[in-house]
Chains A and B, each alone.
Chain A
Amino acid sequence: DQQVKQNSPSLSVQEGRISILNCDYTNSMFDYFLWYKKYPAEGPTFLISISSIKDKNEDGRFTVFLNKSAKHLSLHIVPSQPGDSAVYFCAASHNTNAGKSTFGDGTTLTVKP
């Protein structure tokens, strides 16, 4: 039973356009959601997060939206740049276990020049 799902294994967009990466979760106990970015042969790095008391969080070109009723979140990257090409992981946790997260399988984003 996968509690965090990223149903699109890959996404390809043109430079300058918007990239939208999606994530669904099933565990209603999750109250904190994170996106990590991973380049080949490196560890994941934190990108942006959102707590369940918000429905949107913005950081520069990156915005995360949370729809609690649908148990769905999305990451928007505008405008997309070739350096954004990486694997993006969605992760979820709850405050009683802040040190561990449940990860989705990742979406490989390719931004074409």
Chain B
Amino acid sequence: NAGVTQTPKFQVLKTGQSMTLQCAQDMNHEYMSWYRQDPGMGLRLIHYSVGAGITDQGEVPNGYNVSRSTTEDFPLRLLSAAPSQTSVYFCASSYADTYNEQFFGPGTRLTVL
């Protein structure tokens, strides 16, 4: 199993550009989430999904869009990149049972100039 994969690993954008961060998992997990980590801070939840076709906002959703058309994939779209979105982005997945740990991808380091 590849686990949770994320592409790209690194990305540089100019202010106003849009892009999609890709996330895929091969563990048949129902739950998938996107977090961002800023320097010296913990992970903050952007959006999450409890299954295909179902998404909800997390703590910091503004400027991001998600959709979940399949169990495996959960892309994160930046609509119009801003320097404040410079961060490391982590995708995670887990089973839907009550108590389960999340499995994280390796992260995408995004810089917005």
- Residues in A lying within 8 Å of B, measured CB to CB: 4, 6, 9, 32, 34, 36, 41-46, 49, 51, 89, 95, 98-106
Contact = CB atoms under 8 A, between A and B. Distances in A.
A44 B90 contact: yes
A99 B101 contact: no
A51 B49 CA distance: 23
B64 interface: no
Interface of B: 4, 30-33, 35, 40-45, 48-50, 58-59, 90, 92, 94, 96-107
A99 B92 CA distance: 9
B104 A45 contact: yes
Nearest to B90: A43
Nearest to B100: A98
A43 B58 CA distance: 19
Nearest to B42: A103
Q: Give 9 nearest A-B pairs by CB, closest first.
A: A99-B31, A43-B104, A103-B42, A46-B101, A103-B43, A105-B42, A95-B98, A44-B104, A100-B48
A72 B99 CA distance: 19
A98 B42 contact: no
Contacts of B4: 43
A54 B103 CA distance: 23
20 contacts: A9-B40, A32-B99, A41-B106, A41-B107, A43-B92, A98-B99, A98-B100, A99-B32, A99-B33, A99-B48, A99-B94, A99-B102, A100-B33, A100-B58, A101-B45, A102-B59, A103-B42, A103-B44, A104-B42, A105-B41
